Structure 1
Amino acid sequence: MKKPTKLALLALAFTMFGLYKLFVVFQYAQTGCIQFRTHRTCSYENAENFQSLFDLELMFACGWAAGAVVCWMVAAQAQKKER
């Protein structure tokens, strides 16, 4: 398998996981509860703790999305250099 193809598959994996994480964050925002390991934190129980966990989840989701963008840029550059 060529290097650009491998990078594109890696970028696709990052993209899918990033989209999944963003979906989970939107689901948390709608339901008002975050599942963290075995404990479920809801906004009506402890709003400050919920907001902190929500911010953390949103940061991780944005990190995965940014990683996917970087992977796609590297894959495009590798394709360009191969020609």
Structure 2
Amino acid sequence: MLEGNAIVEIDGTEHPVTRFDTTYVPTSTPHRFRNASATEPMRILWIYATVDATRTIVETGVTARVDAEHAKAASRDNG
């Protein structure tokens, strides 16, 4: 965590995390981070163990490569 407070849910168990806390989530382990505050920002630094990392959005069931998400964001920012 770079800034703020969050609740991280890892495989169904919730844990509070705050600035400078770190987490490790094994591949294929269901997890999510959510801001613990309705008024303060939350910033997270993500580091992936492989360039082939994927993310599945539970709400839609769509799985996409993480690098593809970043390519879309870069395209929007430069377009």
Would you say same fold, with TM above 0.5? no
Structure number with the higher helix fraction is 1
Structure number with the higher strand fraction is 2
TM-score of Structure 1 vs Structure 2, range by shorter chain: under 0.3
Q: Which has the higher contact order (CA 8 A, sep 6+)?
A: 1
TM-score, normalising length from structure 2? Answer: 0.22
